[in-house]
Amino acid sequence: MAVNEFMHPRNRYRQKPNFQQLVKLYPELNDVASVDLTGKVKIDYRNKHAVHLLSKCLLFRDFGLKLELPPNKLVPTLPLRMNYIHWLEDIGSVACWDVERKEKIRGIDIGCGASCIYPLLAVVQSNKRWHMVAIEKAEDSLESAKANVIRNELQSCIEVKSQKLEGSTVLLQVLEEDFPNERFDFCMCNPPFFDNISKELKPQDRTGKRREPSNASTGSIEELCTEGGEVKFISQIIEESLQLKDRISVYTTMIGHKKSYEEILRVLKRASIHNITVGRFCQGNTTRWAVAWSFDDKVLLSLVSDGHDKNDSPGKKKPIGKPVSCRIFTPEEVDSIQGVRNYISTQFRAIEIDVRKVIESNKAEEIVLELSARENTWSHQRRKRRAAISSPDKVNVIQTQNGNGSTQCQNNNNNHKKRPRLDVEQNESCSTQGDNKGDDSYLRAALHILRKDDGFYVALQYVGGVAGKDAVNQILQYLKNIKAKRDKITPADGVNKTPSVG
């Protein structure tokens, strides 16, 4: 089944090129084009020369780029490359590349190949705001990449650097020797998919029903294969990222096989890297996967949208991360977005929801917080308190400090006294010793605090966790209930405009 409809929504190649018009513009395509019985012009994608010629014509028509390739080198198909570029743009939106200090965005392409296609596209697509370092190990590909940069007069935006043939690192050596004091916004990689000891470069046909590839296979052995395959190659990048940390703000890579994608997620988890996002690149009959990770506290990758979920055609799955929002304070009730943040943070911490600031705009008009919860501590609060107070034989749970400073829960069988309401609230949030060591996988969400003309709004967006998106609605309702209760007890009188955080 063709998956063009799941391409990134900004990808211009969601609609196939009009080959009839293209042949008129570039008559050389007549040599590789054919006309079917209905008069429709077609290109034979199984013909390597046709794929090469088509890519050259599209690059020149759509981007003004001139491309030449040595024989037997990988021919870049543009729909996939543009899916990757647009995904990086989405990451940049979350990382605030456009609204921060940056006059230029610095990126690294690991293994640029003979075409140097990703740096060329990135620079042109960004109107030369993105400046790229392209690194390559194969000598013939390196010379071809340099020639393509010079051919397009982009030497001021793209530096092509050689990786040491005998080197054992992917990024470390190049950064330490050529860019010792420079930080980069991202790195990208389209690694060789196959293990070089494998004799079979075609995907495994487990059912016997897999169709022959619709595109011609292009590329040299070093472009298609590496020792240990893509899992070993990407694992090396992950290992080096643990040393480089935020010298590169966001690490990204494409992945060719779904089983490799699943293994890479396990590698990241074993390395305790949790600030990640994933992507899926769909084009033609082909799907590729992608993963990005970061050590930069200002970049919350979980907020990166999954581009193909934005398709609102009938019958399509709706995005699970659609925000829910409401106004929480009027301008008369509070005059500071920091006051709103402090109020909300206090309410969440009272029910043991972890809160972390991610983004704060320079104009103090928006704050983004990351929320994580290990269990449901917000539902049916009044019912829980009434049940606890009305049960005289209910076992009290109190918190005590262990000798090592950690908190444990102990039973107190004193059934003769009612517990104060405050004690009940504290006890509800107490869990057995050792629970904090678990993964925060019950709920993860992003909370945006927005300042508008008519007051302050909160918008909650589901990110992940077994609680599902319904939990986001529950938490928003919890905030509304707490706010309503506060207004009933202490109506806003215009004197103290800052919400109480005590």
Nearest to 187 by CA among 114, 101, 268, 245: 245
Residue 425 marked as a ligand binder? no
Q: For residue 457, what are the β-bridge partners?
A: 327, 450
Query: C-alpha distances in angstroms, 145 versus 92, 361, 375?
Result: 26, 39, 53
Strand pairing category for 105-110 and 366-373: unpaired
CA 78 to chain centre: 21
Cβ distance 494 to 334 under 8 Å?
Answer: no
Give CA–CA dist 87/308, Å, rounded. Answer: 10
Residue 111 marked as a ligand binder? yes
User: Looking at residue 8, what DSSP letter applies?
Assistant: -
Residue 307 marked as a ligand binder? no
Cβ distance 131 to 118 under 8 Å?
Answer: no
Q: Where are the alpha helices (DSSP H) in 67-126?
A: 78-94, 117-125
> CA angle at residue 127 from 122 to 130, to 5 degrees?
45
Cβ distance 110 to 186 under 8 Å?
Answer: no
Give CA–CA dist 132/109, Å, rounded. Answer: 7
Q: Where are the alpha helices (DSSP H) in 114-189?
A: 117-125, 139-151, 172-178
Cβ distance 290 to 254 under 8 Å?
Answer: yes
Tally: H helices and E strands in the chain: 13, 18
Give CA–CA dist 197/106, Å, rounded. Answer: 35
Backbone angles phi, psi at 53, to 5 degrees: -65, -40
Give CA–CA dist 145/161, Å, rounded. Answer: 10
- Binding-site members for S-adenosyl-L-methionine are 81, 111, 136, 190
- Binding-site members are 81, 111, 136, 190
